[in-house]
Structure 1
């Protein structure tokens, strides 16, 4: 028999289920979307709380302004995200995929839309297999229209993180949206519709790299959705009164001993990727726990204990022992220690960071010169960047005040702007020998004297 060159997957029609994990998934969908769609509308101290301004190369984050010079904090955030991914995957498998991943969240929303318009899975399956008619066109068209509208809304919201959201909404209402803004919104919205509305579980199974390399981060103590085959096998239909008889008590009876699994197939029907968790660990499993919810319902109905399918580890399932503690996992302790150190250092750096930047450069057009009173002047271009919203006054001070003095009044810089000044450092040639000298300059925010920067300047003496 010829080997197929590719595998064509049939569409998955996940069945709706209840339970505690389903409630948690819905809560994560609601929370993540409230944050995503709500943050661009939130103002903080008179301006949008979260915005990336590419024109001025600034990131506004709840009153904090970050500049390209603050790249170290972005690098720290990326390192924390990577280490957090490694730690979370090692501890809890793909819980991120099952509860918070944008692909999962948006796919869940698209399925809600589809279920609301076209009905439960069995009706959708029959309608898809039926020939095209007026009802099918109407329902399918309504579904795609609502999906496209939601996808476009996600695209416009993403643009609102780069363009002031209220300004974007006003321009959109007036029909004056920019070309790049429209292109960006349509591109992101189109990908949302394609990935979450059309491809769905195929993204998780075939396109997502995380599904492929997660196995390298798993160990035998990683928390996974697991089927207890020792308790569940051999599976088969049973009556409720048989379910309360222990398996050992069935030995010697005429009826064949059987496990707790009634082989109802509901765990497969509710799976968003269409796998059978009873076949063991599979990379397609996203850890959404829908099979746990539905299996617990079946166990309740058949009078058996819950947990035939549950979150557990390979070690715990094989040896029937409790989950290991963090202290028994050295790799987890190393990741946790690194995360704690980086987060502590980054937080401390942000707390001690002063909200202005200063560059002091020699004015190459002006050499050192002698003033009327016999002192030597060196002229510098001082560039001050004020990242706060309000205007600030700055004073330059020379730490070796007995040898060099600054001839400059307090320097006024408007809020969220950069201003350059010409400043002279004056020295007595009788106190400083000829040559090049390093002078320490102290820049003080006169409106908040606790904010101080230290810079160096090269002073030339004839």
Structure 2
């Protein structure tokens, strides 16, 4: 088949190049929480005061001649008022962490994320930093206006004042944190003289910058993207868990109206669509869109909505704490005895009781017996001799005198030193020699070595092995 040469040819011309950059990244808008007053706001500040009094005040408490609460890393001691905890007592720390985890699970199953809204350090320090920001820059609209205006001397002075206040508070927080590991009454003058150790400088700077960055800049981003609790909380929620909820049946359809109009006659709901509940939210969500993982159950939207309802002369409770499956707080109380809560409560009570009993009956000294690995046994003139190393830890803050005895074989006795004195919170390693007449049975024999503290009479016994030919 031949193609006609007279057929018109349409030339292919490249389209003019136009550069166009399409960004798939959307910058997260900054949240400017509006100030609000009310019941839950007062409770938040009460919890802020309580938590910060404990945090900043605890290192200054004295017990006798030392700091009451001190984690002395260099000496490998943990002082908790009248109790001294050694690295060998990590069992207690493990139980404490399990108790805290179960307590959080139980509290979440019953009351939702009240921990996040009222006691979490991130929420607490964010609220403190916001308070300083409001005092220096003004409330929501003033802060928005300040950020959009061009830089000038006045704006720079305001921003410098705010960040100076933030940094000062963060440095006090970082120094207090280090005071839990270094006696704070020694730490303060050493800081002024710039005589801190390398690790003390590191943790002071790290914790200060972490507080400054998390509470001043990241804020709600920590709750949304860094904290795992927001992600797995749904596994602990059920239809009886308390959450902050918007009553859509009563509020919709939302819309503006005059205070004197009958909104029901106009086919409107109780929500006037003022968006104040969104403006006061510290994480910037709209609670009217339903339960969201970002919600920290702070209750500020409830205070804001109740204030608007009062002005409109509508009943309160358009936004309120209610059960996740609907219903009131009273409905939740009636369903506390459900399997999830009972399991968490039982495990919490069991492990907490175990921890409390172990701490209350914690011995005042620890004994560890180690056999001499070089010599299994040796024959003496009167029988068989075995060598050991006795490791003894005095867990009290007074010097203690200890006596040593052995049982389990006829005629067994201590040939080496039978007593020793160990200083307060110190350790001692004592060579221990035990001898016994030739026993009727050959091979290894089980024995018991008993250490008694004087004058308390407290006794700790430990089993070991005595070898014979």
Fold equivalence (TM over 0.5) = yes
Name stretches of at least 5 consecutive residues in structure 1 with no aligned partner: none
Matched, 1:51 2:70: yes
1:172-192 deviations in Å (ceiling 9; x for gaps)? 122212222112111111111
Corresponding residue number in structure 1 for 2:322: 312
Partners of 2:43 and 2:127 lie apart in 1 by 13
The runs of at least 4 consecutive aligned structure 1 residues that moved more than 6 Å come to: none
Name the SS for the 1:137 alignment partner: helix
Shift of 1:145: 1.0
Question: Could you state the TM-score of these two structures normalised by the residue count of structure 2?
Answer: 0.89
Partner of 1:380, secondary structure, is: strand
Shift of 1:402: 4.9
1:401-432: CA deviation from partner (whole Å, max 9, x where unpaired): 75322344332111111112233323233x55
Counting only pairs closer than 5 Å after superposition, residues 79-90 of structure 1 correspond to structure 2 as 79-90=98-109
Measure the CA separation in 2 of the matches of 1:33 and 1:167: 21
Q: Indicate if the aligned counterparts of 1:394 and 1:412 stay in contact, CA closer than 8 A.
A: yes
Q: How many residues align?
A: 448
Offset at residue 323 of structure 1 (A): 2.4
Cα distance between partner residues in 2 of 1:97 and 1:321: 23
The secondary structure found in structure 1 opposite 2:345 is helix
| Residue deviations 1:244-265 (CA, integer Å, cap 9, x gap) | xxx8xx5xxxx41322222222
Q: Deviations over 1:95-140 (max 9, x none)?
A: 1111111111111111111111111211111111111111100000
2:269 to 259, 271, 285: 259
Unmatched segments (≥5 aa) in structure 2 = 1-19
Give the structure-1-normalised TM-score.
Answer: 0.91
Asked whether 1:116 is paired with 2:135, we answer yes
Tell whether 2:363 aligns with 1:354: yes
**Residue aligning to 2:250:** 231
Report 1:6-45 matches (<5 A).
Answer: 6-45=25-64
**What secondary structure is seen at the aligned counterpart in 2 of 1:384?**
strand
Q: Which residue of 1 aligns with 2:111?
A: 92
Q: Give the equivalent residue in structure 1 for 2:296.
A: 286
> SS in structure 2 opposite 1:5?
coil
Q: 1:140 to 1:327 in 2, by over 3 A?
A: closer
Contact 2:112/2:243, CA 8 A, preserved across alignment: yes
Distance 1:166 1:71, change over 3 A: same
Once residues 440 and 66 of structure 2 are traced to their aligned partners in structure 1, the CA distance between those partners, rounded to angstroms, is 50
Question: Could you tell me whether the CA contact under 8 Å between 2:240 and 2:335 is conserved in 1?
Answer: no
**How far apart, CA to CA, are the structure 1 residues paired with 2:173 and 2:312?**
44
Q: Distance in 2 between matches of 1:68 and 1:40?
A: 21
Matched, 1:426 2:435: yes
CA contact (8 A) 2:170 2:208 kept: yes
CA shift for structure 1 position 212:
2.0
Encode CA deviations 1:1-32: one digit per residue, 9 max, x unaligned. Answer: 99862331221111111111101101111111
Task: Tell me what 1:412 maps to.
Answer: 421
Contact 2:114/2:298, CA 8 A, preserved across alignment:
yes
Mapped contact 1:95–1:288 kept (Cα < 8 A): yes
Q: State which of 48, 60, 68 in structure 1 corresponds to 2:87.
A: 68
The question of 1:452 aligning with 2:459 is answered yes
Instruction: Indicate the RMSD between aligned Cα atoms, in angstroms.
Output: 2.3
Query: Alpha-carbon deviations, 1:384-406, whole Å to 9, x = none?
Result: 11111100111222344753223
| CA–CA distance in structure 1, aligned partners of residues 385 and 26 of structure 2 | 79
Partner SS for 2:325: helix
**How far, CA to CA, are the matches of 1:65 and 1:164 in structure 2?**
15
Please tell me whether the aligned partners of residues 322 and 329 of structure 2 are also in contact (alpha carbons under 8 angstroms). no
Report if aligned partners of 1:226, 1:280 keep a CA contact under 8 Å in 2: yes
